Amino acid sequence: MQTRNKMFDDFSQLMTNAMGVAQGARTEAETAMKSWMDRWLADRNFVTREEFDAVRAMAQKAREENEALKARIEALEAASKPK
């Protein structure tokens, strides 16, 4: 019976070590893939979310200013028309 317990202990230790190796390989693969994706995206000159949001806010402000100026021009034109 003692031999059998030793065999199970050895097998258990082997599985534990294998799981550790697998976890290390998984972490290394994730890190490598993330690095590759970061380089690939950087090479494509994609904008960051912050840059996109900043430009979108600028465009929204410009549209609002254009609408205000359009309304002002229309009001001035209406006031300057002869009655």
Structure tokens at 25: 């390989």
What pLDDT band is residue 11 in, cutting at 50, 70 and 90? confident
pLDDT digits (tens, 9 = 90+) for 35-80: 999 888 888 888 889 999 999 999 999 999 999 999 999 999 999 8
- Identify the pLDDT of residue 46: 83
Q: Assess whether pLDDT exceeds 80 at residue 20.
A: yes
